[in-house]
A and B are shown apart, each in its own frame.
Chain A
Amino acid sequence: MSDMIAVFGPGTLGPIIQRHTSKEVHFWGNDPQQGPDPLLIIDATLGPVPIKRDRLRWVAEQYPQTLILTASSTVLLATQRRWITNPERMIGFDPWLMQIDARVLTVADDGEWRLFHREMLSQIFSGWQWQKIADQVGAVFARVIAPLVNESMAYVSMGITHEDINQAVKLGLNHPKGPLQWTEVFGISQVGLVLQAMHRGMGERFLPHPLIQRQMAEEGVNLDA
Chain B
Amino acid sequence: MMNTDNLIIVIGSGTMGRGIAQVALSHGFRVHLVDSVQSQRELAHKSISQGIGRALENGQVSPEGTLNWSERLTMGPDWHSLKPSWVIEAIPESMDLKGPLFTKLDEEFGESVWLASNTSSIALTAIQGMATRFPHRVGGLHFFNPVPRMALVEVIAGMATAPNFVSAAHDLVKGWGKEPVTVPDRPGFLVNRVARPYYLEALRMVEEGVVDYADCDRIFEGAGFPMGPFRLMDLVGIDVNFSVSQSVFEQTFYDPRYRPHALQQNKIWLGHLGRKSKRGFYSYE
Contacts and interface: CB of A to CB of B under 8 A. Distances in A.
Nearest to A146: B197
A168 B208 contact: no
A136 B201 contact: no
Contact of A134 (B151, B195, B198, B209): B209
Contacts of B218: 104, 131
Contacts, number: 124
Given A143-B205, A168-B191, A106 B219 contact: yes
Interface string B206-227: 0011110001101111111111
Contact of B224 (A143, A144, A148, A176): A176
A172 B150 contact: yes
A151 B222 contact: no
A100 B152 contact: no
14 contacts: A106-B219, A133-B211, A134-B210, A140-B210, A143-B210, A144-B220, A151-B197, A152-B194, A164-B181, A167-B181, A168-B190, A169-B191, A174-B227, A176-B223
Those 4 A-B pairs whose CB atoms lie nearest each other, nearest first: A176-B224, A104-B222, A103-B222, A172-B191
B184 interface: yes
B215 A131 contact: yes
A170 to B, nearest CB: 9
B182 to A, nearest CB: 7
Interface in B210-260: 210-211, 215-216, 218-227, 229, 255-257
Given A106-B211, A129-B222, 14 more contacts: A103-B221, A104-B222, A131-B211, A141-B219, A143-B205, A147-B197, A158-B184, A167-B179, A168-B183, A169-B191, A171-B150, A172-B144, A172-B150, A204-B256
Given A143-B201, A204-B256, A205-B257, A179 B223 contact: no
Q: Which of B186, B191, B221, B223 has the most CB of A within 10 A?
A: B223
B83 interface: no
B183 A155 contact: yes
